[in-house]
Amino acid sequence: MAHVSGNTPWVDSPAGQVITAARLEALEAPFDQHRASRYGAVTRTRGPECRAEFAGTFPLTSAMGDVLAQGGWTASLDTDAKFVPGSTGVPAYYEIPLGGLWDIGVYMPTVNLPINTTFAAKLLLGGTNVGANSIASDTRTCLTGGGMDTVLHAFRWDCAPAVGARVYTAVWTNAASITVGTYNTGIKSRFYARYMGPA
């Protein structure tokens, strides 16, 4: 019978004989290769991925300097159990479980950025030094009015971190005081990391 693909009908290989195990292995190999490429291993049913949220709010002031995410974070998805929520004084982080290309990002909302002040968020890879380890950032400056609501999105796509590298997030402001956390519309502080395939 004809096939949708236009391929000619299958025949015994070799002709007149039952198909061999080697032939079956050759037919199945591309599916294995695709799964290994897409998910990181033949035995996986999805690639590594993490989503973590901070449900509450916290104050941020200029006197605090760069503040790493710590405590209060909960992973809603963590396929490889690599998210560490941290605690007071101990930074939260995600440890890369598989080498390859990753999409990594963080959303950080605030609801009351004063006029002529700035709010910034960063992604850090391999350490907690904001200068040396930053791989992505996003900033907003309120130029008029004051009390600006905004959501930062610091992200890095097609990043190729090493296995075991740790990803941290940090925020900063030069305002006297702002509130970071759940936005008026319910948007939460949120971290994500998705394995996209081999580098």
pLDDT tens figures, 178-189: 999 866 667 789
Task: Provide the pLDDT for residue 44.
Answer: 81
Task: Enter the pTM of the model.
Answer: 0.83
Domain ranges of the chain: 1-45, 49-197
Of 99 and 10, the structure prediction assigns the larger pLDDT to: 99
The tokens for 153 are 């999105």
What is residue 188's predicted lDDT score, i.e. its pLDDT?
85
**pLDDT the model gives residue 185:** 60
Q: 5-16, pLDDT tens digit by residue?
A: 566 666 666 666
pLDDT, one tens digit per residue, over 73-97 is 999 999 999 999 999 999 999 999 9
Look at residue 17 in the predicted model and tell me its pLDDT. Answer: 63
Instruction: Provide the pLDDT confidence category of residue 1 given band limits of 50, 70 and 90.
Output: very low
Give the pLDDT of residue 128.
97
pLDDT at 119: 95
Q: Please state the three-class secondary structure of the chain as a single string.
A: CCCCCCCCCCCCCCCCCCCCHHHHHHHHHHHHHHHHHHHCCCCCCCCCEEEEEECCEEEECHHHCCEECCCCEEEEEECCCCEECCECCECCEEECCCCCEEEEEEEEEEEEECCCEEEEEEEEECCCCHHHHEEEEEEEEECCCCCEEEEEEEEEEEECCCCCCEEEEEEEECCCCEEEECCCCCCCEEEEEEEEECC
CATH architecture assignment, domain 49-197:
Sandwich (2.60)
**43 falls in which pLDDT band (50, 70, 90)?**
confident
